[in-house]
Chain A
């Protein structure tokens, strides 16, 4: 069983471990700093830990640990190239404001494949994908995507600018990488980033005029995850519902119902069962809190045909916890799940969500929860 959870929060990186008396906070790093994302590198069995920070006044930074989180050092950050005068036609149809060519937020961090020990992918706001081959010391903009003719059609959803929040590296072929973009749909490369294809057909955007609702480049998948055991299967928690593909993103199908709501931000999929996935719903886009003040997790075991509404151990009255897209995770065993909320609560389940234990109610607002 994985016994460590990295919790990135508004005021530091908390390490939560399982001791003989259960789960609890065992360490904190960068106390007071805004840790927008944290990641443990599975290729190093957790020795390498990365934390993205947003210092506000002082900008976005990356800290790396090579000793499992005991100590950190500042490494490089993605740097956008100077914006040419004729860089892109602006304003575009969907984007009334010019997009700055400047790093605003690190919104995704993912390790490359097992045979790429130093490779990291980094998704950012305002929409650049970056790659490092030296454990984050230096980063290179993936120009094939940044200069793609459809990229200027992306626009911000929730954030001021578009961004890449999900990076899924194919478990058997590290050259195949799939991205979730808000708002810009789902993008995929099969050649390590040399070329890209937009693959969001079947998604539906209610926030667009009817004739543009099916435009794949305007979709807002809040979070995209790939099944490790059946890599052609992806799940997406979209702004307008839950979508699933079984054909490597060629076509997406909507899940009509999932407990109290199909709106939310995170999704996780079981590591060995592509039909089992979990979601944490909120009412809907203009009401971002749990329905009726009840925190629930929804779980399907049959590929989305039906859902269990899991409540055991979760607050069922006057609870207004929202869970962001990176704040829900499942461990390698497939049994242990954890999520953290905007109001600083952290829950863990060791039985696939049937029962939840409240680890803390007093953490800072939680941005990310990652096992490893």
Chain B
């Protein structure tokens, strides 16, 4: 399983509790989360499915490189943190 956590700031708009999912990439894991919390999708991804400009995702503490297709790999037992980038103010 992979644990996905979300920034606390998103919680005032849409409920996103820490969730355990299965998946081999960031995309697969996030899609699994959005399957349970569909409203969260548009808060994290833009209308083209890419990570929003001022969002940032870490896998086990490392910032992902593929913001467009979210193809970065995730290991079993890993952790994905969906955070706000400070660039967004």
Task: Give complex CA distance A83, B68 in Å.
Answer: 13
CB contact between A55 and one of B13, B39, B47, B85 (< 8 Å): that residue: B13
What is the CA–CA distance of A77 and B44 in the complex, to the nearest angstrom? 14
CB within 8 Å of B: which of A53-92?
55-59, 61, 74, 77, 79-80, 82-83
Which residue of A has the minimal Cβ distance to B54? A57
- Is A261 an interface residue, CB under 8 A from the partner? no
Q: How far is the CA of A101 from the CA of B47 in the complex (A)?
A: 9
Q: What mask results when residues 23 to 65 of chain B are scored 1 for a CB within 8 Å of chain A, else 0?
A: 0000000000000000100111011100010110000000000
Q: Does A25 make an interface contact (CB < 8 A)?
A: no
Given A74-B39, A77-B42, residue A57 in contact with residue B52 (CB < 8 A): yes
Tell me if B46 and A103 are in contact (CB < 8 A). yes
Question: What residues of B have a CB within 8 angstroms of the CB of A103 in the complex?
Answer: 46-47
A1 and B13 alpha carbons, distance in the complex (Å): 36
Given known pairs A74-B39, A77-B42, the reply for A58 and B48 (CB within 8 Å) is: no
B70 within 8 A of A: no
Cβ–Cβ contact B47 & A56, under 8 A? no
Contacting pair A56 B48 (CB below 8 A): no
Interface: A246 (CB within 8 A) = no
The residues of B that contact A77 with a CB separation of less than 8 Å are: 42, 47
Q: Is A102 an interface residue (CB 8 A)?
A: yes
Please give, as numbers and ranges, the residues of chain A lying within 8 Å of B54 by CB-CB distance.
56-57
Query: How far, in whole Å, are A57 and B7 apart by their CA atoms in the complex?
Result: 11
Q: How far is the CA of A58 from the CA of B84 in the complex (A)?
A: 9
Are A57's CB and B88's CB within 8 A? yes
B1 interface residue (CB < 8 Å to A): no
CB distance from A102 to the nearest CB of B (A): 5
- Expressed in whole angstroms, the minimum distance between the Cβ of B28 and any Cβ of chain A is 20
Q: How far is the CB of B33 from chain A (nearest CB, A)?
A: 15
Looking across the interface, which residue of chain A has its beta carbon closest to that of B55? Answer: A57
Which residues of the partner chain B approach A100 to less than 8 Å between Cβ atoms?
48
Which of B9, B39, B42, B47 is close to A57, meaning CB atoms less than 8 Å apart?
A: B9
- Which B-chain residue is minimally distant from A103 (CB atoms)? B47
A91-120 interface mask toward B, CB cutoff 8 Å, 1 = contact, 0 = none?
000000000111100000000000000000
Known contacts A56-B89, A57-B85: does B52 contact A83 (CB below 8 Å)? no
Which residues of B pack against A, CB within 8 Å?
A: 9-10, 13, 39, 42-44, 46-48, 52, 54-55, 84-85, 88-89
Please list the 7 inter-chain residue pairs (A to B) with the smallest Cβ-Cβ separation, ordered nearest first.
Answer: A58-B43, A57-B88, A79-B47, A57-B54, A57-B84, A56-B88, A102-B48
Can you report 29 residue pairs joining A to B where beta carbons are below 8 Å apart?
A55-B13, A55-B43, A56-B54, A56-B88, A56-B89, A57-B9, A57-B52, A57-B54, A57-B55, A57-B84, A57-B85, A57-B88, A58-B13, A58-B42, A58-B43, A58-B52, A58-B55, A59-B42, A59-B43, A59-B46, A59-B52, A61-B13, A61-B42, A74-B39, A79-B47, A80-B47, A82-B48, A100-B48, A102-B46
